[in-house]
Amino acid sequence: MTQGSVPPELAAQFAALDCSKPEQNKNYQTAEGAPTVACTQKDEGGIYYKLALGPVAVFGADVSKAQATIDTQQGGGWQVQLQFNNKGTDAFTAVTGQLATQPEPGNQFAIVLDGKVVSHPYVKSAIPGGSAVISGNFKQTEAQNLANVLSFGALPLEFTTSDVTTVSPQLGGDQLKAGLVAGLIGMILVVAYSLVYYRGLGLVSIAGLLVSAALTYSIMSLLGAGIGFALNLPAVCGAIVAIGITADSFIVYFERIRDEVREGAPLRPAVQRAWPRARRTILVSDFVSFLCAAVLYLVSVGKVQGFAFTLGLTTALDVVVIFLFTKPLITLLARRKFFSEGNPWSGLDPKRLGARPPLRSTRRRTPSSSAAVKGA
């Protein structure tokens, strides 16, 4: 905060200052304690004010608290309440006592942050006691902004540059392209594994992955503008991880079905028996993944939120796909001869799975009475 009336040595500089010119209306820089002239910000009427600033009277570090409140005694307008420490109390009492003896506009003091005048209230009398109120026709945002300047502008912060890395747009594009290529390679490997190991059932997993990808892309396109989502490298990483989560759900269900076939159950009953156990496992697994993604999204910022959002979205869609697409599709395929009779290329061949043969009756028949007579 600075005080002052126009000193004689600044009269010419003060008269020559034109705040309407951008080259003159800028943050002033001067040695501590030296007088200078400065411009205020343009008000609602488009008017600048120029001030002659004297030496610093009260430093921002001496402001212990500043907050925007409602003046309940003077019509309910917004005001800013100030509190000073011991050093600031003495300095503020002295400077307001000096300013109160001067006629307007010499009774004003300026609030300055980083060489810019943010406010210039006037005083009518000395303000002792370490507390003060800045009132006026403040709007809520104006009062809060001034309180923030007085509060956080008082922090003695210093920043030291430890490392600077410049990333060109070309490098960022290359990283995103590399992430997409990695996702494509992962998808191809999952498809190849599904076809080699599960054969006909692998087509079901491929169809499920395609449905999940289409839903994910559609939802991202619809919500992207609303939530500020962008397909960056962390988001691509979340999608790559989701490929494994979706494939894992298919594997759980397929293995449950194959376990039932190994026990000697026909395919259609095996599909129905396997579903309750597979469903429970899939829900527990997806819930844990979704919970981790939700927590990461809430506690993180920036690009990490893109990873968490993609992971959570694809995990939720995995439940939708497995319930509304995969399960009904396998139920329909179980009625087809290719799968129900265990074709070697179906992935459900009982012989290849080492299924147990069905139990047969071993009870011996009792000889008839006529056979006993003939034997005699």
pLDDT of residue 42: 60
| Domain residue ranges of the chain, discontinuous segments joined by + | 2-152, 171-353
- What's the pLDDT band for 93 if we cut at 50, 70, 90? confident
Instruction: Tell me the three-class secondary structure of the chain, residue by residue.
Output: CEECCCCHHHHHHHHHCCCCCCCCCCCCCCCCCCCEEEEECCCCCCCCCEEEECCECCCHHHEEEEEEEECCCCCCCEEEEEEECHHHHHHHHHHHHHHHCCCCCCCEEEEEECCEEEECCECCCCCCCCEEEEEEEECHHHHHHHHHHHHHCCCCCCCCCCCCCCCCHHHHHHHHHHHHHHHHHHHHHHHHHHHHHHCHHHHHHHHHHHHHHHHHHHHHHHHHHHHCCCCCHHHHHHHHHHHHHHHHHHHHHHHHHHHHHHCCCCHHHHHHHHHHHHHHHHHHHHHHHHHHHHHHHHHCCCHHHHHHHHHHHHHHHHHHHHHHHHHHHHHHHCCCHHHHCCCCCCCCCHHHHCCCCCCCCCCCCCCCHHHHHHHC
The mean-pLDDT minimum among 1-5, 163-167, 274-278, 282-286 falls in 1-5
- What is the pLDDT confidence band of residue 153, given thresholds at 50, 70 and 90? low
Place of tokens 């030496």: 55
Identify the residue with better confidence: 317 or 39.
317
Nearest to 318 by CA among 220, 187, 216, 175: 216
Specify the CATH number of the domain 171-353.
1.20.1640.10
Share the mean pLDDT of the chain.
77
The whole-number pLDDT of residue 348 equals 83
- Which fold would CATH assign to domain 2-152? Gyrase A; domain 2 (3.30.1360)
Compute the distance between CA of residue 138 and CA of residue 43 in angstroms, rounded to an integer: 12
Whole-number Cα distances in Å, 175 to 15, 71, 110, 241, 314: 57, 55, 50, 17, 22
Instruction: List the structure tokens of 33.
Output: 């304690």
Mean pLDDT of 7-25: 71
Higher pLDDT, 45 or 319: 319
Mean pLDDT value of segment 258-285: 89
Q: Which of 223, 235, 255 is nearest to 303 (CA)?
A: 235
Kindly tell me if the per-residue pLDDT of 325 is higher than 80. yes
Tokens of 71: 């003046």
Nearest residue to 278 via CA among 298, 305, 252: 252
β-bridge partners, 40: 117
What is the average per-residue pLDDT within 67-82? 80
Q: Which backbone phi and psi does 334 adopt, to 5 degrees? A: -65, -20
**From CA 262, how far away is CA 258, in angstroms rounded?**
6
pLDDT in tens, 173-189: 666 677 678 778 878 88
Cα distance between residue 213 and residue 317, in whole Å = 9
**pLDDT above 90 covers what percent of the chain?**
7
List pLDDT tens digits, range 98-112.
888 887 777 788 787
Angstrom distance (rounded) from CA 293 to CA 244: 15
pLDDT band at 83 (very low <50, low <70, confident <90, very high): confident
Whether residue 22 has pLDDT greater than 50: yes
Span of 112-126, 278-292, 303-317, 321-335 with lowest mean pLDDT = 112-126
- Region 181-202: mean pLDDT is 84
Tokens of 25: 């209306």
Backbone phi, psi, residue 338, to 5°: -60, -40
In the prediction, which pLDDT does 373 show? 42
CA distance to 36, 50, 276, per residue, from 16 (Å): 13, 11, 86
Region 353-366 average pLDDT: 58
For 224-234, how does the pLDDT look when each residue is reduced to its tens digit (9 = 90+)? Answer: 666 656 666 77
Q: State the residue for tokens 């298919």.
A: 250
Q: Is the pLDDT of residue 349 over 50?
A: yes
End-to-end CA gap in the chain: 132
